[in-house]
Chains A and B, each alone.
Chain A
Amino acid sequence: MPNIREVAKRAGVSVATVSRVLNHPERVSPQTKDRIDKIMVEMDFSPNVFARSLNLKRSNSIALIIPDIQNPQNMEIARGVERVAHQKGYNLLLCNTEKDREKEQSYIRMLMEKKIDGIILAFTLLLQADFDEIQKKNIPIILFGQNVLKKNISSVYSDFKEGAFIAVSHLIELGFKRIAYICGGEDHLENRDKTLGYKEALLKAGDKVSEEMIFQGKDDIDSGYLAALKLLKQTPRPDAVFVANDLMAMGAIDALRTEGIRVPEDISIIGYDNIKMSALIEPKLTTVSWPVYKMGLISARILIEEVENSGDVKMTQNIFLSPKLKIRKSCGHEARVSEIFD
């Protein structure tokens, strides 16, 4: 029986093209596919299915591990990953850790047993020993979100310290003097980074950082509501609040409204994430946007590339995407041009 090289030679194409016809016909023009299919029939060529499955050893499944399924931001990651996975013929397993390291570790064990082809870890709480374990099994992983680069592990990440810094600097430029901060769960590195960014912006502007102006939240709407009630007890009252995510910011706006406080007239609010709902609430939320859906797409692209080229020398890719300010109405800013272009 002829081999793939002979088919390629007869068709006047590269071996890679014949291989694409066999494995990813959607990536080849219909004309070429028809022509090569015909040649394969003429030459009585059939790919050795058994050898291929031994060779590939793939489950055609990848996993995405997220910390909180209730946060729409995590669903945007999943939307991006799923889109690419489906297009490339992979199933997607979604694992929700509820910000629990042990649950994340048990998911990893389960996925390895299932011979998962690759894993995307969003805002992981795993320890170095866990990474070593996964790498021993040669399972490609992608780190999503946090600004921690690990040797030999590709990542797609943003900078939450910088995001918080530009948010708080925006409030300072608008003239606010008493800027409070509702922070998220401190287990997560990205939340600790946001706290650093908040403090750095104040210090850079020559303002003092007061721990009394920092209110603990838990990343959800309710904790934002409660934190806002607490900060109202401060005298003098804060004139602006940086909230570590949009969900908590929405809770905070709700609390302020309940207490008869107007946003932005009495207190300005700036969030983080630019979830879709932030453009729908009243006032429309000024926030920090980072391209989470696109980062989901890129993560899946790199992961599948690593899965499919597992025999080749691996190239670690670290893709960084900047956060940027999305100016709307919750800080009393009216300049439409920046809303259009930024």
Chain B
Amino acid sequence: MELSSNLMGISLKNPLILSSGPMSRSGEMMIKALKAGASAVVTETIINEIRPNVRPRIINRGEGLQNIRLYSEFSLEEWEREIGIVKEHGGVVIANILAHSPSEMAFLARTVEKYGVDALELGVSSPHGEGLSIQGCDPLNLYKMVKAVVESVNIPVMVKLSPSVNNLAALADAVERAGAKGISAINTVRSILGVNIDEMTPLLPTYGGYSGEPIRPIGLGAVATICQTVDLSVSGIGGISRFSHLLEYLMLGADTCQLQSALILHGFSLIREILDELQSWMEEKKFSSLGDIRGKALNHLKSFDEIVLEPKIASGLQDCPLPRCTLCSDSCTYNALEKNEKDLVEINRELCTGCGLCISICPRDCFSMAWNG
């Protein structure tokens, strides 16, 4: 059974990569991730001009995190050492770099290439400041930026894209035309996590990037779009904290996955857990390699025209195992479900339009879809 994966021509022992963020802020941290089982690491964002990070800058609600500006506080010169340490350890290092013009990005790219990194990830879609609106949303600017870098280095280049755009396919296409070998998606989502209603202030003092479990559906959607648009090595990011999440990304066409927020919340040991569970699942399902599952769900994505309209409605057990539960009847938008005093669920076949919500609402999986008549 093989978990080996390929990132832009670089062989990896598994598909799980530490993404750019505070958990990859130093050589020491990146080595910890590698020791925990990650197959590669992406550095925290390396920039020419460092500024001290604001305090506080990261907050949590549930499994979601909002951060405001998390770039590296190490200077470009200091990164030579941090990257050197990881290379001496024998790890695959991808440098995440951020600059504001094609020539500046190319300069940074050449510099970190000399430090020995294996690949580059261009952080053009950070939700903080101007980057997103100038580079991350504009296919022409993005093309120029990526092309300048690709022409300056001999290592593969990956571009990190944001979901906070309405032209993802055009951006992915620009990245491919410019000669990049990969795309990673998604970056964090521009957000305000909440407002303190007693103080009447936002929880953090400016717009930030939202990450963690809640953004996974957005990440899956973006990765599917990218995989349907370009023939590049895709690295899925966003809300991965279990092996099943990783599988979801792979089945939608990703070659590798990156995670960060779940590691911030639960520690590096999660990497081993995810890999062990992935291995067990693969063995149980008798898959010999990740190639057997990659992109399989992507092929089932259809346009509305292709979806055959079947006359199906809800069907299910009449005897509810949860006496006081009324989730199904409360949420039935079409008033087709009713629970009587004897805890029997009645489905009105005339009113049910087959929306299917009750199937995912019911905690005991009582419902399914069946042909009407």
Question: Which residues from chain A sit less than 8 Å from chain B, CB to CB?
Answer: 13, 17, 26-29, 32, 80, 83-84, 87-88, 291, 293-294, 297-298, 301-302, 317-322, 324, 340-342
Interface 9-mer from B33-41, B98-106, B248-256, B313-321? B98-106
Interface size for chain B: under 10, 10 to 19, 20 to 34, or 35 or more residues? 20 to 34
Other-chain contact of B48, A26, A297, A340 (Cβ < 8 Å): A297
Question: Considering the chains assembled together, what is the distance between the CA atoms of A293 and B85 in angstroms?
Answer: 29
Interface centre among A28, A83, A298, A317 (most CB of B within 10 A): A298
- Contacts A317-B107, A324-B130: A27 and B101 contacting too (C-beta < 8 A)? no
Taking a contact as CB atoms under 8 Å apart, the answer to whether A301 and B111 are in contact is yes
Taking a contact as CB atoms under 8 Å apart, the answer to whether B129 and A293 are in contact is no
Question: Considering the chains assembled together, what is the distance between the CA atoms of A17 and B133 in angstroms?
Answer: 41
- Contacts A297-B49, A324-B130: A29 and B77 contacting too (C-beta < 8 A)? no
Q: Is B11 an interface residue (CB 8 A)?
A: no
Q: Is B210 an interface residue (CB 8 A)?
A: no
Cβ contacts under 8 Å, A324 to chain B: 130
Taking a contact as CB atoms under 8 Å apart, the answer to whether A291 and B100 are in contact is yes
Question: Considering the chains assembled together, what is the distance between the CA atoms of A297 and B129 in angstroms?
Answer: 21
- Contacts A84-B77, A88-B77, A294-B48: A27 and B104 contacting too (C-beta < 8 A)? no
Q: Is B88 an interface residue (CB 8 A)?
A: yes
Question: Which residues from chain B sit less than 8 Å from chain A, CB to CB?
Answer: 27, 48-49, 75-77, 80-81, 84-85, 88, 100-104, 107, 111, 129-130, 133, 206-207
Question: Considering the chains assembled together, what is the distance between the CA atoms of A317 and B111 in angstroms?
Answer: 12
Other-chain contact of A28, B75, B81, B100, B129 (Cβ < 8 Å): B81
Residue of B nearest to A35 (CB): B88
Question: Considering the chains assembled together, what is the distance between the CA atoms of A153 and B100 in angstroms?
Answer: 22
Other-chain contact of A320, B76, B103, B111 (Cβ < 8 Å): B103
Taking a contact as CB atoms under 8 Å apart, the answer to whether B130 and A32 are in contact is no
Question: Considering the chains assembled together, what is the distance between the CA atoms of A317 and B109 in angstroms?
Answer: 13
Other-chain contact of A321, B81, B101, B207 (Cβ < 8 Å): B101
- Contacts A27-B77, A291-B49: A342 and B130 contacting too (C-beta < 8 A)? yes
Interface of A is mostly: helix
Cβ contacts under 8 Å, A319 to chain B: 101, 103-104, 107
Closest 8 CB pairs of A and B: A294-B49, A29-B85, A319-B103, A27-B80, A320-B103, A87-B77, A294-B48, A27-B81
Taking a contact as CB atoms under 8 Å apart, the answer to whether A340 and B77 are in contact is no
Taking a contact as CB atoms under 8 Å apart, the answer to whether A341 and B133 are in contact is yes
Given contacts A297-B48, A301-B48, 19 further A-B contacts (CB under 8 A): A26-B81, A28-B81, A29-B81, A87-B75, A88-B77, A293-B49, A297-B49, A298-B48, A298-B104, A318-B103, A319-B101, A319-B103, A319-B107, A320-B101, A320-B102, A320-B103, A321-B101, A341-B130, A341-B133
Cβ contacts under 8 Å, B77 to chain A: 27, 84, 87-88
Inter-chain contact total with CB atoms closer than 8 Å: 65
Question: Considering the chains assembled together, what is the distance between the CA atoms of A293 and B107 in angstroms?
Answer: 16
Cβ contacts under 8 Å, B130 to chain A: 324, 341-342
Interface centre among A13, A27, A32, A322 (most CB of B within 10 A): A27
Taking a contact as CB atoms under 8 Å apart, the answer to whether A322 and B101 are in contact is yes
CB proximity of A222 to chain B, nearest CB, Å: 32
Interface of B is mostly: helix
CB proximity of A232 to chain B, nearest CB, Å: 36
Cβ contacts under 8 Å, B80 to chain A: 27
Taking a contact as CB atoms under 8 Å apart, the answer to whether A301 and B84 are in contact is no
Cβ contacts under 8 Å, B129 to chain A: 341
Question: Considering the chains assembled together, what is the distance between the CA atoms of A319 and B111 in angstroms?
Answer: 13
Cβ contacts under 8 Å, A83 to chain B: 75
Cβ contacts under 8 Å, A27 to chain B: 77, 80-81, 84
Question: Considering the chains assembled together, what is the distance between the CA atoms of A135 and B111 in angstroms?
Answer: 25
Question: Considering the chains assembled together, what is the distance between the CA atoms of A192 and B133 in angstroms?
Answer: 31
Cβ contacts under 8 Å, A291 to chain B: 49, 100
Cβ contacts under 8 Å, B207 to chain A: 340-341
Q: Could you show 13 A-B contacts with beta carbons less than 8 Å apart?
A: A27-B80, A27-B81, A29-B84, A32-B84, A32-B88, A88-B77, A291-B49, A293-B49, A298-B104, A301-B107, A302-B107, A320-B103, A322-B100
Question: Considering the chains assembled together, what is the distance between the CA atoms of A306 and B100 in angstroms?
Answer: 23
Cβ contacts under 8 Å, B103 to chain A: 317-321
Question: Considering the chains assembled together, what is the distance between the CA atoms of A319 and B152 in angstroms?
Answer: 13
Cβ contacts under 8 Å, A17 to chain B: 84
Question: Considering the chains assembled together, what is the distance between the CA atoms of A341 and B128 in angstroms?
Answer: 7
Question: Considering the chains assembled together, what is the distance between the CA atoms of A298 and B107 in angstroms?
Answer: 9
Question: Considering the chains assembled together, what is the distance between the CA atoms of A89 and B27 in angstroms?
Answer: 23
Question: Considering the chains assembled together, what is the distance between the CA atoms of A125 and B263 in angstroms?
Answer: 55
CB proximity of A162 to chain B, nearest CB, Å: 12
Question: Considering the chains assembled together, what is the distance between the CA atoms of A84 and B107 in angstroms?
Answer: 15
Cβ contacts under 8 Å, B133 to chain A: 341-342
Question: Considering the chains assembled together, what is the distance between the CA atoms of A238 and B133 in angstroms?
Answer: 34
Cβ contacts under 8 Å, B104 to chain A: 298, 319-321
Residue of A nearest to B85 (CB): A29
Question: Considering the chains assembled together, what is the distance between the CA atoms of A82 and B145 in angstroms?
Answer: 29
Residue of B nearest to A322 (CB): B101
Interface centre among B75, B104, B111, B130 (most CB of A within 10 A): B104
Cβ contacts under 8 Å, A88 to chain B: 77
CB proximity of A241 to chain B, nearest CB, Å: 26
Residue of B nearest to A337 (CB): B207
Cβ contacts under 8 Å, A322 to chain B: 100-101
CB proximity of A300 to chain B, nearest CB, Å: 10
CB proximity of B354 to chain A, nearest CB, Å: 43
Residue of B nearest to A294 (CB): B49
Taking a contact as CB atoms under 8 Å apart, the answer to whether B111 and A28 are in contact is no
Taking a contact as CB atoms under 8 Å apart, the answer to whether A321 and B100 are in contact is yes
